[in-house]
Amino acid sequence: MPEFDANHRWFGAGADSRSLSAAITAASTARAASWNASLA
């Protein structure tokens, strides 16, 4: 299962929940900004 392996590596490589949540927040902020730019 390569996908499981990649996920396990990602989560095991020090990507703790705090940094993961920061990454998700940054991604949704960027998405919102690009939405606003496309609507303007």
Q: Domains of the chain: which residue ranges? A: 16-40
First-last CA distance in the chain: 44
pLDDT tens readout for residues 10-40: 555 555 677 778 888 999 999 999 988 888 7
pTM of the predicted model as reported, rounded to 2 decimal places: 0.47
Check whether 2 has a pLDDT greater than 60.
no
- Is the CA virtual torsion 13, 9, 24, 26 positive or negative? positive
Check whether 3 has a pLDDT greater than 70.
no
